[in-house]
Structure 1
Amino acid sequence: MTSITKLPCEVMTSIMRELGNIRFLLPCLLTCRYFYACFKADLHLAADILEQQLTPALVPYAIAVLEASQLNPRTGIAVRELLETFIKEPSKLRSQFRTLSVPLLVKIGRLHDPIQSLATQFANNAWAHIINDQGSQTDRNICLSATENYRFCRAFYKFELFCNLFRSTMPTGFVSVSDEERRWFFAQYAPWENEQLTSVHDFLELKLSEGSYDVLAHDVEFGTLGIDYLTAGGDNGWRQVWLSQGIDFIYRMTTETSYDAKKALLKSSYGASSAYLYDALTSIPEVDLDDDTPLAQITDEDLKTMIPTSNDQDIDKGPFEAWRVAFKDLPRSMWVMLTKNSGLRERAYVFWNLDRLERYDLLELFKNAPEDSELLRAVNGWGDMFKSFEERSKIKQRGGSGYWSKDDESRIVWPARQAGGCLR
C-alpha cells in the first residue's frame, strides 16, 4: 500500500485544507517532515483553513478585531480610521487576510472558537425560551441557517471590536477615545443591528453573572470590597468592567471549573476600566427630540432615509420586521436599548430569518413576549447580599480569607498563631 508521504504535495495540501480548524494545523505539521514541507510549499494553506473555519463573510470582522487589538496609540483619529475602513471599505481588510503571518492567523482562530461557541449557546438558549412560549407548535431542535449563524457570530465580533476599541488601557480610567466615536460607531448601523449587539450584551452579562457568582457571593476578599453580584446593566460598574475585557475573558469565566482560577481571573482585571457599552447602547441618538412620530407612522420611503446604507451581505428582512414590531409605537429618539424589551432580546428576536419568523408565527409571539428576562430576574436576595458583605468584612478584619458561607466558617483560612495567640 502506498505511504501517505508518497502522495503528491498538491494532494497533501488539499487534504490539509479539509482540517476545518486552524488549531489542528500545528499537530498535523508535527506529524512528519513531509507534511511540513508541503505546508511550506503552499503560502496560502493556513489562510484557506482559517477562512473555511470562519466563513468568508466573517473575515473582515475578524481582521478588524485583530487590528483593533493592535492599535497603538489608540487615539480617536486611529479608531475612526479603522472603523471607516471596516464599515465602508471592508474589502481592504479582506485583502490583508492572506498577508498575515501564521501566528496571527492562529490568534484569529483561537478567538473564533469561543465566539462560535457562545453564539451557538445564545441561539440554543433563545430557541429554548421560544419553545417554552409556544410549546408543541415549535421544533425543539434548532438548526441555524448559514445566514442566521453569520448574524449571531457577527454580533459577537462587533461586541469584541467595541471592547477592543473603547476599553481604556490606562489604570486610571483615562479614555483617549471620546463618546463622539462611540456615537459614530452606532450611527453607522441600522437600529435592528444595534439591537443585535444589545442582545449579545445581555446574554454575555448573564453568562458572566452565572460564571462569577460562586466567587463573588462567597469569597471574603470580594465581599470586603462590596462587589455587587445581583444588579444588571450600567449600574453595576464592576460587572461592566469585566464584560469589557472581551469574549475570551467571558468564555474562560463560563468554562473554568476551578474556584481559584475564576477568582484569579476576576482579580486580573483589578485596575482595568470599562468600554461603557451599556451606556452607549442606552444613549439617546442624535435626532430631533421634538419629533414624536412613532415608527408605525413612518413610511418605508422616509424610513430608508433614516437608516444608514450597508455593504453587509445580510439582506434578509427578518431582523427588520421583528424590530419594527418591538418599536412600532416609539419615536426615533427611543430606538435604543430598552429595559422592557429584555424578554425579546433573550429570545434573540432580531436574529431570525424571515422564513423562520413566518413558519412559526414568531412576530405574533413577540408581541406578547415577557418584558423581563432571566438576567433581570436574578436580583432576589439584596438583603442577604449586603448581610454577606458585613459578615465577610468582619472575617477579613480578624485576618481570615477564603470561602465564606452563611453560618459556616469551615472553609475560612485563618492566619497561623503561636502559643499565646501572637501571629507568626
Structure 2
Amino acid sequence: MLATLPIEIIQEIFLNLDDLGTLKEAALCCRTLYEAFLAIEELLTTTILHRQIHPSVLPDAINTHVSFSIPSSDTEAVNRFSTDYLNTKKILPSKWKLANALPLSLFHQFVDYFATRLSSMGLEDSPSYLREPPCQANPTESEILRIQRALYRFQLYRNMFGTLITDPGRQRELMFRYFSTFENEQLASVNDLLLCAIAEPYNDLVDHDIHWGSMRVSYLEPYDSEQGDYILSKGLEYLFHLTQTKSYTERRRLLSLDDFNFGYDDEPGRLVQFMKWSLSWAGSPDWDYQDFSFDNLDEESMAFHIGKPFYDDGDEGPVTAWKLGDYLVADPSLMRWRRWGYVFWDMSRLENSGIIEKGLSEDSGFRRLRTTEAENRRLFESQEEREKIERAGGSGWWSFKDQSKVQWKCQQGRTKVQMPWGGVQGSSGSRGHF
C-alpha cells in the first residue's frame, strides 16, 4: 500500500520515522521505497539522526563510536584517540549517509533507555527531608541530556581502558583531564546508578542459584563490589540485555559462570580497580596535591581547578551541587547523593528542593543501601541448603518454598528434573524445566 503513494508522500513519511533502524527496514521493503530513500538519503539520515541524538550529545556519541574500534591493550592507539578526539574537538559532519550513521543510532537506543531509567531511579530515591513536589517532578530535557553524555563517557572509559589495571595518572592524562571535575563526578554517579540497575537480576541468582549458593556468592555491595565492577566493565549493550531479563533461565545464561574469566574456583568474576577507583584518585585536577584546599580561592582560580566542561549547557546546577559535596569525586561518603543523581539536576530543581540551604546531610532519609543482618542470615541459611543439594547432584533454581525446579543428575549422565507434582522427568542434555 505504501509503495503506491507518490514518492513525495513516501519521503515525507520517512522523514517522520523515529530512528534510522526503522528507516533502513522501510527502505528495504521494495524497490519503490528504496528508490524514494536513495533520492534524498542524506536529508533523511541527517534529519532523523539529529532528532534522535541531540546536537549536544552527538560529539560524545561520535567519540564513543570511534573508540569501539580501538583495542584497549594497544597503548599507542589509545594515545592517538585521546589526542585526536578528546584533546581536539572534531567538526561535526553536516550530512550523513545511512551506513555511517546507523551504528550511532542503534547504540543510542541503549543510552536513551538508561538515561530514562537512571533518572527515574534517582528521583524515586530522593532524600526524605527535601520538599517533595519539585523533587519528584519528571526530569527535564537538559537533565536527561546530561545523563546521556555521562553514559557515553562511561562506555568511552570502558572502550579505552577495558578490564586492564591502568595507572590512574595515565587515565587522567588520556581522559579525565578533558572533562570538568563535576563531569567526572557525573561519571561516578552513572557508575553507582548502573550498579543499582543490575543488582536485581544479579541478586536473584545470589538468592536462588544452587551453584552460587554453594560457592557463597554474596549480594552486590553498594560501593566496593568487584563482581559488580566486572559486570559493569562489559558495557552498556550487555547491561541493557541483563536488565531486560525476567526469568532465571535468561539471567543464568547472561551471568553464566563460563563467561566469568576473572572468577576464582568457578565463582562469579571479579575486577579490581575499575572506573570509580581511578576517578577517586585522578578525577580531580588536583588529585596529586596532598594538602590542597579549595578554601579562599578567588573566582578565576576556582574555575581553573574545576576545569572546563567538555560541554557547557549554561546551567549552574551540576557545579553547585558538586561544590556542596566538598569538591570530591567518587568519594564513598557521597554515594547516596550520587544515587540520587545530585550532579545532574537543574539549578531550579536544587533551589526548589531546599538542598542548597540544607546541604548534603548524612542523615538524609535515603532508602538503605546495604542488606540487613536478618537478610544476610537468611542468605547464609539458604546457602547451607544449596550446598547440600549440589553435593547430592542437584543444580538450577531453588528456594525455601519451592524446590520443584531442582535438576538432579542420574548415574547414566542424564538429568532428572523434579516436577511440581513430585515425580521425576528424565532429560538428556537439557538444562531442565523452569
Deviation string for 1:101-156 (max 9, x for gaps)? 52x533322221221122112222322333844355536431413x2221111111
SS in 2 for 1:207: helix
SS in 2 for 1:130: coil
Match of 2:216 among 226, 245, 251: 226
Equivalent AA in structure 1 for residue 26 of structure 2: C
Conserved in 2, the CA contact under 8 Å of 1:206 and 1:375? Answer: no
Conserved in 2, the CA contact under 8 Å of 1:115 and 1:153? Answer: yes
Q: Does 1:158 align with 2:147?
A: no
Partner of 2:418: none
Q: Does 1:208 align with 2:198?
A: yes
Evaluate the alpha carbon distance shift between residue 82 and residue 232 of structure 1 in structure 2; reply closer, same or farther with a 3 A threshold.
same
CA–CA distance in 1 between the matches of 2:290 and 2:5?
75
Q: Does 1:149 align with 2:144?
A: yes
Q: Does 1:119 align with 2:112?
A: no
Conserved in 2, the CA contact under 8 Å of 1:189 and 1:307? Answer: no
Post-superposition shift, 1:97? 7.6
Equivalent AA in structure 2 for residue 154 of structure 1: R
Post-superposition shift, 1:49? 1.5
Evaluate the alpha carbon distance shift between residue 289 and residue 26 of structure 1 in structure 2; reply closer, same or farther with a 3 A threshold.
closer
Partner of 2:431: none
Deviation string for 1:5-56 (max 9, x for gaps)? 45344x5334312212223213322444322111122232234322210112
Post-superposition shift, 1:208? 0.6
Evaluate the alpha carbon distance shift between residue 374 and residue 195 of structure 1 in structure 2; reply closer, same or farther with a 3 A threshold.
farther
Evaluate the alpha carbon distance shift between residue 310 and residue 200 of structure 1 in structure 2; reply closer, same or farther with a 3 A threshold.
closer
Query: Which region of structure 1 is more displaced relative to structure 2, 265-274 or 299-308?
Result: 265-274
Evaluate the alpha carbon distance shift between residue 110 and residue 148 of structure 1 in structure 2; reply closer, same or farther with a 3 A threshold.
same
Higher helix share: 1
Conserved in 2, the CA contact under 8 Å of 1:342 and 1:373? Answer: no
CA–CA distance in 2 between the matches of 1:18 and 1:356?
33
SS in 2 for 1:35: helix
Deviation string for 1:350-395 (max 9, x for gaps)? 1112233224433235433646855733465333334444432332
Query: Which region of structure 1 is more displaced relative to structure 2, 389-398 or 244-253?
Result: 389-398
Equivalent AA in structure 2 for residue 108 of structure 1: L
Equivalent positions of 1:353-364 (< 5 A) are: 353-364=346-357
Conserved in 2, the CA contact under 8 Å of 1:344 and 1:371? Answer: no
Post-superposition shift, 1:287? 4.0
CA–CA distance in 1 between the matches of 2:380 and 2:167?
35
Query: Which region of structure 1 is more displaced relative to structure 2, 196-205 or 218-227?
Result: 218-227
Q: Does 1:391 align with 2:385?
A: yes
Evaluate the alpha carbon distance shift between residue 396 and residue 368 of structure 1 in structure 2; reply closer, same or farther with a 3 A threshold.
same
Deviation string for 1:227-251 (max 9, x for gaps)? 32242333x2222111111112222
Conserved in 2, the CA contact under 8 Å of 1:202 and 1:375? Answer: no
CA–CA distance in 2 between the matches of 1:183 and 1:372?
34
Conserved in 1, the CA contact under 8 Å of 2:214 and 2:387? Answer: yes
CA–CA distance in 2 between the matches of 1:312 and 1:31?
40
Give the CA RMSD over aligned residues.
3.1
Conserved in 1, the CA contact under 8 Å of 2:337 and 2:360? Answer: no
Equivalent AA in structure 2 for residue 322 of structure 1: A
Q: Does 1:312 align with 2:311?
A: yes
Match of 1:257 among 246, 261, 279: 246
TM-score (norm 1): 0.83
CA–CA distance in 2 between the matches of 1:24 and 1:393?
49
Equivalent AA in structure 2 for residue 382 of structure 1: N
Partner of 2:416: none
CA–CA distance in 2 between the matches of 1:311 and 1:409?
54
Evaluate the alpha carbon distance shift between residue 301 and residue 218 of structure 1 in structure 2; reply closer, same or farther with a 3 A threshold.
same
Q: Give % identity.
A: 25
Conserved in 2, the CA contact under 8 Å of 1:63 and 1:97? Answer: no
Deviation string for 1:46-77 (max 9, x for gaps)? 34322210112222211222222221474222
Conserved in 2, the CA contact under 8 Å of 1:76 and 1:177? Answer: no
Equivalent positions of 1:323-342 (< 5 A) are: 323-327=322-326, 335-342=328-335
Q: How many residues align?
A: 400
CA–CA distance in 2 between the matches of 1:216 and 1:47?
46
Conserved in 2, the CA contact under 8 Å of 1:318 and 1:355? Answer: yes
Partner of 2:343: 350
Deviation string for 1:391-417 (max 9, x for gaps)? 323322221101122375432111135
CA–CA distance in 2 between the matches of 1:303 and 1:88?
22
SS in 2 for 1:405: coil
Post-superposition shift, 1:167? 1.4
Evaluate the alpha carbon distance shift between residue 155 and residue 398 of structure 1 in structure 2; reply closer, same or farther with a 3 A threshold.
same
Post-superposition shift, 1:200? 0.7
CA–CA distance in 2 between the matches of 1:369 and 1:22?
46
TM-score (norm 2): 0.81
Structure 1 spans left out of the alignment, 5+ residues = 169-174, 329-334
CA–CA distance in 2 between the matches of 1:379 and 1:163?
33
Partner of 2:181: 191
